A and B are shown apart, each in its own frame.
Chain A
Amino acid sequence: MHHVIIGNGVAGIEAAIALRRRHEDARITLVSEESEHFFSRTALMYILAGQLTHRDTEPYERDLYARMGFTRVRARAIGVDPAARSVRLAGDLAPLSYDRLLIASGSRPRPAPWPGGDLPGIGTFVTHQDLAWLERELHGGPGRGGAAPAADAHLSASTDDSPYRQRPVARTLRGSPPQNPMVIGGGLIGIEVIETMLAAGLKPRFVIREEFFWPMAIDAAESAWIQERLREHGVDVLTATQIERFEGDGAVERAVLDSGQTVPCDLCVVAIGVMPNTDWLADSGIERDPGGGIVVGPDLRSSAPGVYAAGDCASVTWFNGSRRPEQLWYTSRDQGRVAAAAMSGDDVAYKRGHWYNSAKLIDIEYTTAGLVDFGYDDLWSWFHEERGAVRSTTRIVCRPGEGDQARVVGFNMLGRRWDHTVLIRWIAERRSLSWVLDHLSEARFDTELVPPLRIPPEARRAPDAAAR
């Protein structure tokens, strides 16, 4: 039995490890264009800043492949022929035949859609190659921790439209470091890049299309604090702003905004989202959703026999019946493991639990659990802002119900650490707001000696219906 896995990311490697545990002698081949080793994509910003080395971001020791008997192919897959059960590779590599195929090709960054968007000095921040580009733009090269091993080994077996190609560096063309960096896109990757630019001593401009930073996850009051913090650090935050076009002679020099204003810009990171990295499957006859995600059933099987998909590239069914990929680290890991079980013939189903996540927004920590979505009109929030030794905001989202007997369905917390497993348990137990407020300290996960959150009695009252 030959298992071929396209992708050496978290979904791919976790599937490979799970397959090896099941099948001691099976042939397992991992195809990856991007890197020699599995690494934590979530840690890219730390390599960029100089906080971590490449090796620090590799969750397993480098001898994993030898120990587990995985064959690695460092090349770009350019198509699948489900009838012949083979994968075509770029360069002059022979096609790979498989018995079971797992596609775990992740996401690719959404490119800049504006005129001039392909000028040198404009790029994205998703892949190792993006990292190498941005290291050169920001710092002139990698830190003393070094570059990725065999960074260019894939170039002989790649294609021009690959997301794993390094962009030309404006700093080299111009001969001077950037002075007016810009980041476009008010989301997580955007703010991570802002943080590394600040650490590099620059004062970036943050261009956000929406009315406030990260409306997908936090509300206006919460966002106001983040924006305040960004401005304190010297970031020029422009909300409700769009780009018209970029201009420059050989490399980017200016951005024209929708207000008509022209701002200087000699480095621009576009962080306006990612999309399933599946263009290479266009003529393979594998069903994809309108966004490009590979349509899979509960067992992560695609429309083609023997072909499975997991991670960022798989379009799965959500709790409310909608279908789209889940672009998260832990869901990719879980999907990889479920796919391995399904490929081994188990009767398994990938089940989505309650939504949760955490992040760090510059230096403010964020934890969320359950439903905090604003698409549900009947939900309302209990909100408390703490401004003492600790600054934090606590938002508890409730279903209709009278006063503090309302049932809690979600949490959005900034500035403190919380144990999401406890919050999720309360949601599952259908706890009321007053019960949750009484027990909130049980979900604390602050580091030691941080003073506990005290909610003054007058703040405990739920807003009356009119005020919601």
Chain B
Amino acid sequence: MYLQGQNGLMATWREGFRSRALSAWIIAALMVGFYIDLYWFDHFQPLAEAVGLRNKWYLYGALYCLFMVGGAVYHLRRHGNSRYNQARIATNVGVQVLLAFLLPFVMPLFGGKEFYFSYFWPLKYDLLLPDTIWQLPLYLAIYGLVGSLLLAPVMAFFFGKRWYCSWVCGCGGLANTYGDPWRHLTSTSTRAWRFEQVAIHVVLGLVVFMTGVMGIKALIGHDHPGFVVFADHTKSFYGFLVGSVLSGVVGTGLYPLLGPRVWCRNFCPMAALLGLVQKLGRFRIAVKDDMCISCGNCSAYCEMGIDVRSYAQSNQSFTRAACVGCGMCAHVCPRGVLRLENRFDAQGDKDKQHIVVLDF
């Protein structure tokens, strides 16, 4: 039986590991330690070889899948009474295990190059870098280009960025499974919001800059060896800062203290880009007039720190660039005030159809 109301949330602030007790700090410390070792040391290499996973990155991939599957079980025990959550989490875990682990793992066995079908530029920035494109078989190069520049934004226009951030992406997938116990920890404060606005667009700017520099390098690199050095430095600096520190150590390690979407909310360039498209597109959260009791569940359980209640209590349907469409606000609302929707027809309440809250 599908029930739409929340369950499984009730004990949140009575469980230490979910409410920043010592156990939460220990989990965070272990995760941060793990990422530091993974990125900058080689202790996991022998282990990876011992279990037949070739190198530590495949070992990481396997662990990632394991945490997602475990987290998915936890998530669905808590919110699995929602059909949206069932479909979303199952798809997300399936994509991760198949497209982001098994396929890339076996492709080299058949003489191919490993390729991650579930990632696009600017998250997987290689896909637009000439250096990479030349090395890819034509069909993969085209897949990368079309996926990044056409498919992802077009889908975001019609369905919101959720199609990627909450159904496909591995980072979002981990946040919504292993990270689920901590979704209420994302700050709703104005300060956190200001930080997000600056940080995420700075990273987007950086990746565009880096991609541009790498493109110019491909054009003029022969004649300007100095520029080649600059371009390669730019790329490795971006890889270090954004790829390792922000997405791994900070973004994932600190789930138990800052909530599970630290990376997605503040730093992910893909989220920034699709968010801009989402603002212009068809996705919105609809609010039922005069039914909100201002209880605060929606805001508290928003993993992106959106103050959903402020819209709900003022009868404003809305689209926020940050929203990843996890659907939890609608799920936890005890009065059924909210609904995620994609507007394909303009019938119904005309005035409300066109409310767009400009806040990015």
Contact = CB atoms under 8 A, between A and B. Distances in A.
A57 B339 CA distance: 21
Given A445-B288, A449-B87, A53 B4 contact: no
7 nearest interchain CB pairs?
A50-B14, A43-B295, A199-B10, A417-B336, A143-B13, A144-B19, A145-B13
A358 interface: yes
B294 A447 contact: no
A358 B3 CA distance: 15
Interface in A382-439: 389-391, 415-421
Contact of B2 (A42, A50, A389): A389
Interface in B280-303: 288-291, 293-297, 299-300
B291 A358 contact: yes
B39 interface: no
Interface string B328-343: 0011001110011100
A447 B300 contact: no
A61 interface: yes
Contacts of A42: 293-295
Nearest to B190: A61
Interface in B292-331: 293-297, 299-300, 309, 313, 327, 330-331
Nearest to A195: B10
A391 B1 contact: yes
Range, interface on chain B = 35 or more
Contact of B331 (A53, A196, A391, A447): A447
Contacts of B197: none
B83 interface: yes
Contacts of B335: 358-360
A313 to B, nearest CB: 19
26 contacts: A40-B296, A42-B293, A42-B294, A42-B295, A43-B293, A50-B15, A52-B296, A56-B300, A143-B19, A144-B19, A330-B290, A330-B293, A358-B336, A359-B334, A359-B335, A360-B335, A365-B5, A417-B339, A445-B336, A447-B4, A447-B84, A447-B331, A449-B84, A450-B2, A450-B4, A450-B83
Contacts of B20: 144
Contact of B13 (A50, A359, A419, A451): A50
A10 interface: yes
A410 B335 CA distance: 19
Given A50-B10, A358-B335, A365 B288 contact: no
A228 interface: no
Contacts of A289: none
B12 A51 contact: yes
A329 interface: yes
B46 interface: no
A59 interface: yes
A367 interface: yes
